[in-house]
Amino acid sequence: MAEKARVGVLISGRGSNMTALLYASRQPDCPYEIVLVAANDPDALGLKVAAAEGIATFGLGHKGMKRADYDRILDEQLRGAGVQYIALAGHMRLLSAEFVGKWEGRMVNIHPSLLPLYKGLDTHARALEAGDTVGGCSVHLVTVELDSGPVLGQMEVAVLVDDTAETLAARVLIAEHQLYPRVLAELVTRDATPEALLGKLREIALALPAAEEKLSHGTPAFAVAGGKMFGYFSDDHHGNGITALLVKTSGPEEQAMLIEAEPDFYFRPAYLGPSGWIGLRLDQGGVDWDHVGEWLLKSWRMAAPRKLADVI
């Protein structure tokens, strides 16, 4: 099995969804692991649970801090722990647009309603007030607008005639604990298929000026129109079990330095390695696509004719 995706969970209190994600991660074949639990309240009960379970924790109160400053510190903590995906689990503090942008596509939230119904707070009371016969919960990708990102999964919960907001919330919570681990597992698995990885690479590479896709020895590759190659997609090349992007470095020195610094991410590819190309592993769970994009641009610059390269 491929490396497990590294998940950071953000909580504000009890953390029962975090706990459900954690115990699910310990089931055989779960494709993710929890590597950090962070809370905007250092006394959050969930932090104690995580610490007792041997998970790294980070608690920092947000009162009196500027949102941007808080989010920068949080981002550093998450990256420092090698987090690839963020799961918001009862996290009641708004995140800045900048933070959300950095983690777009890799940050999910659980919300106690059948979205798009009842965004925000008091979801169960509002469902009862409206006379709904079913409530439920949703897991969605986080975008800048609150509770409005693409829904990845939902679970319905029947409403009982004598339900109160509290009794309904308690049953929805049980549903949340079933739904969240499954949807998170699906997301990290879906993102890691070679088809999904190639799709994402295409999107970035073909957005570069005069970029075109070619087939090179049967594998998809990217070239500057009429010119040189700047990227190769490599999937299980000669049965090496690796899915990667090959890009150009400035030469053997840079290549060796990078591999030494991050041997889990960079490798020296067969055939193209001696000419200074380097492999970036895409099969290690949650890929940092901004970073991959920077590499594609750098490689494109080396492949593009001067006149074109000077444009961007």
User: In the set 110, 168, 197, 303, which binds ligand GAR (CB under 6 A)?
Assistant: 110
Identify the residue among 4, 6, 62, 111 touching ligand GAR (CB under 6 A): 111
Calculate helix-pair angle for 165-191, 194-205, nearest 10 degrees.
80
Does 90 participate in binding ligand GAR (rule CB under 6 A)?
Answer: yes
- Residue 17 is a binding residue for ligand GAR (CB under 6 A): yes
Q: What DSSP state is assigned to residue 94?
A: P
Residue 190, φ and ψ in degrees, nearest 5:
-60, -40
Residue 142 binds ligand GAR, judged by CB under 6 A: no
Q: How many CA atoms lie within 13 A of 97 on its CB side?
A: 2
Provide the mask over 167-196, with x wherever binding to ligand GAR is found by CB under 6 A and - wherever it is not: ------x--x--------------------
Burial class (CB in 10 A: 0-12, 13-18, 19+), 128: middle
* Residue 57 binds to ligand GAR (criterion: CB under 6 A): no
In this structure, which amino acid lies at residue 84? Q
Decide: is 83 part of the binding site for ligand GAR (CB under 6 A): no
Report the nearest approach of ligand GAR to the CB of residue 21 (Å): 9
Q: Is 211 in the site for ligand GAR (CB under 6 A)?
A: no
Helices within the chain (DSSP H only): 16-25, 45-52, 67-80, 97-102, 123-129, 165-191, 194-205, 252-261, 289-303, 306-309
Spatial distance between the Cα atoms of 36 and 142, rounded to a whole number of angstroms: 19
Residue 168, classed as helix, strand or coil, is: helix
Does residue 59 touch ligand GAR according to CB under 6 A?
no
Contact between 89 and ligand GAR per CB under 6 A: yes
* Binding segment (CB under 6 A) for ligand GAR, from list 14-22, 237-245, 259-267, 301-309: 14-22
Tokens of 149: 């990102």
**237 catalytic residue (yes or no):** no
Q: Which is nearer to ligand GAR, 173 or 208 (CB)?
A: 173
Selected from 112, 149, 279, 286, the binder of ligand GAR by CB under 6 A is 112
**Residues with catalytic function:** 111
Residue ranges in contact with ligand GAR by CB under 6 A: 11, 13-17, 89-90, 110-112, 173, 176
